[in-house]
Structure 1
């Protein structure tokens, strides 16, 4: 059995390229179906698969009897509509122990833009549930991910990897504080109502801004989030007309196209008489057109722009990283041992089937003897003798076959299998 992974993340690919391969959670099932169907006509009909897609990464994990990295790579390039050469220059491919190590590091927050952040673990669990619901998760990938969750839990319990970490939301608040002297006087708009916006709203609300509004495509979901912060809920359709009211805009939706365009921002600036606007686009693909960044009085930050801020304080956690790597190494060795044992499963199944066949034959013979009136002791004696003869026949035949060297090897193997002393 082989496990392989490929993907691109914030360290290997620019934001706009990552956006080509971003999958919303409700897109995972049909995407997995497309991927697995692409294998059906080839040499890999039974392929397990899972997709992890966040603002910082898109990764595909697969398992099958034989690795098919090139095929998976070609499928991903085609799904994103990019040339394979371009994707290859920004992607990474991993197999077996390296794929397991990567999954464990991702789950533990060691591969995140924010070292030690915990959000990725929940995102991985969501991805695994989506793969399981889609029927794409088999025993091998299930083991890989369940072990990655266990390793992540141990890393967070036994080390201080998450101590003093600066989240993307906290970084946004810090940058906003550098632009506006008093955040109490600002009006803040959040676009979207997902987990990232929830986190960002929590951080900004702690600064007690003058007002908070939540704009969302589904008003009911926006109202639910707004009620937690004493905020106003508004429809996404009303956003262009009301954009000028806000000093700070934080956006993170699952839209495949920008929802805040250059024209709308230009009109908002004019209405504000060019008072500055602080904008944070946490979405991948982008929610805010990149041209907006060139406007005067606009301070636009993307997830990649926030990288420098969140890197502060990383040195303080390097000792924890070293401890985490030791835990991950042990987890990788354990998984690879389990994966190696999976190779003997077909043989074990065959042995069990053969033993059941022998047992059924001897049971049928014993019943016939009992029906003819044979004594129970005689029947049990015959059944036990028949079973042992069937079990020993192959070994005895091999001891008498072949040359001296092969007989010696057979003798050693039989000694190990049949002459072990019980401890």
Structure 2
């Protein structure tokens, strides 16, 4: 079973999302193993989601509790702040997220890269499974297809651009603005591109992690050290923060002695800017919570087309996944038949070509029928048929052990549906 535990700007208040933003797959996995086979954690500025491959019906609440525990939230604070989606609905949700349909700014461009990085991070920690890999890969393919086929995302929508649009009415001329960019993370490059589109040429970067010089050289902008931060911040017209630092980087002390108006745009999650800075004379603070309140309405036509593509992609993913559920039975059947074939060929080598042709023809219909039954959610009947007709029990280990007394059950053995006596191949073989 695939499931998603999601907390986003649609289900949780900003302060809860801020606390949830820190945990990653390496933090969550020890809290839920061995109840799950794999987990991919997607953490962005407006959502934290755990995608899990599991055989346990209790995993959803276990994962939710792990997210809560890793963030330090109480049960009361986390109650009602998340939702749970399973199997096809989990895939549909991920595909919609990757396409930007669940973002604050519908169709935002950054989210596709964040989905890909979440999978890469899970691979690094060894927490993916084949089903999670396929689901995230299909999500990326769907996102690219929607971008190419609809108007969604073609305008370069992003939180960065929306934040800059919200400052337009306060600025007479972008070309005269001095901008301090704090951070070299996922939004930094997008911020530079958006600023340059508006004619900004005076951009300086500060990196709390010390990567400012390398980043500045790459994008042709100046960089400053921590010792120069206060002087640079107070001389700037706009400060934009987009770093993944755990603690606020910009505080009232950072702009001590400010003598002119200053726009501060905080794109960080957790917050990069101490909220107390809004009380400093001359400061206008624009944070994610404010940006969310001013997000534009989605373009209905483009969004409807994109959601239709998401639903279609999710349905195809579910069909393929169901068809794979009978694969062990098909493999066992072919192995059994070909073992008999090789034995017969050894006895009558002169008949090899005819025997191979006959076996291929005989296997075709059962193989197709098995896939059809699996796509209908009837894989258990396929396993039963193979066992009844050929005496080959190809059911996954956990199901077999459930019918036989055993001292222990394998922790990660997949669970399949119940055994059925009906035979899908009775008209085919």
User: So what's the TM-score if we normalise by structure 2?
Assistant: 0.77
Q: Kindly report which structure 2 residues correspond to 1:7-406, keeping only aligned pairs within 5 A, or say none.
A: 7-23=6-22, 28=24, 30-31=26-27, 33-35=29-31, 38-40=32-34, 44=35, 46-67=36-57, 68-164=59-155, 166-209=157-200, 211-219=202-210, 221-227=211-217, 230-265=220-255, 267-269=256-258, 272=259, 275-311=260-296, 314-315=297-298, 317-352=299-334, 354-355=336-337, 358=340, 362=343, 395=389
Instruction: Quote the offset at 1:331 in angstroms.
Output: 1.1
Q: Secondary structure at the match of 2:428?
A: helix
Instruction: Quote the offset at 1:125 in angstroms.
Output: 0.7
Contact 1:183–1:207 (Cα < 8 Å) also in 2: yes
* 1:347–1:255 distance in 2 versus 1, CA, 3 Å: same
Q: Which has the higher contact order (CA 8 A, sep 6+)?
A: 1
Q: For residues 103 and 242 of structure 2, what CA distance do their matches in structure 1 show?
A: 18
Give 1 or 2 for the bigger CA radius of gyration: 1
Q: For residues 104 and 376 of structure 1, what CA distance do their matches in structure 2 show?
A: 53
Q: For residues 396 and 264 of structure 1, what CA distance do their matches in structure 2 show?
A: 76
* 1:226–1:381 distance in 2 versus 1, CA, 3 Å: closer
* 1:381–1:297 distance in 2 versus 1, CA, 3 Å: closer
Q: For residues 380 and 241 of structure 1, what CA distance do their matches in structure 2 show?
A: 85
Q: Secondary structure at the match of 1:417?
A: coil
Q: Secondary structure at the match of 2:254?
A: helix
Q: For residues 281 and 17 of structure 1, what CA distance do their matches in structure 2 show?
A: 17
Which deviates further from its counterpart, 223-232 or 182-191? Answer: 223-232
Total equivalences in the alignment: 374
Find the counterpart in structure 2 of residue 405 from structure 1: none
Instruction: Quote the offset at 1:217 in angstroms.
Output: 3.0
Instruction: Quote the offset at 1:285 in angstroms.
Output: 0.4
Output the aligned Cα RMSD.
3.3
User: So what's the TM-score if we normalise by structure 1?
Assistant: 0.78
Instruction: Quote the offset at 1:226 in angstroms.
Output: 2.5
Q: For residues 117 and 210 of structure 1, what CA distance do their matches in structure 2 show?
A: 24
Instruction: Quote the offset at 1:353 in angstroms.
Output: 5.1
